[in-house]
Amino acid sequence: MPSYSSWNRVKCSASKHLLTDILKHEMGFEGFLISDYNAIDQISPNYKKDVAISINAGIDMVMLTEKYPELFSDLQQLASDGSIPMTRIDDAVTRILRVKFAMGLMDKTAPRWLIADYRRLLARPHIGKSHVRRCANLSYC
């Protein structure tokens, strides 16, 4: 997950060099990249431009709040006019589906409780670490 951070004054969510050239191509990362919560809003003052920059940089899935209708509309327009190539959309979808299939999430025979337990099992150690890091930076935890 690319964060709100910047590297060489470029937001990580906007850096094709970091996300695609290095992580995906040089390092062979086959998973998918999900944006940090509303992080693409920090790229520029123009949200539609933010969508194009972040998706073309290598973000495969965007995590956001109430802006999803705007994201869907902008993404459709940007794909239709060629600002986001269909090959980029295909790559993002392939990466997301590859992970879902590998986790068994697309298997109709997998019981829902198993999937939920698996997600909790994966998340549990990270929740504790996340809380500790957050508390280290705050005086009221």
Residues catalogued as catalytic? 36
Contacts of residue 9, Cβ cutoff 8 Å, sequence gap at least 6: none
* Side-chain-side CA neighbours of residue 77 (13 Å): 11
Question: Cα–Cα distance between 110 and 116 in angstroms, integer?
Answer: 11
DSSP 3-state assignment of 134?
A: helix
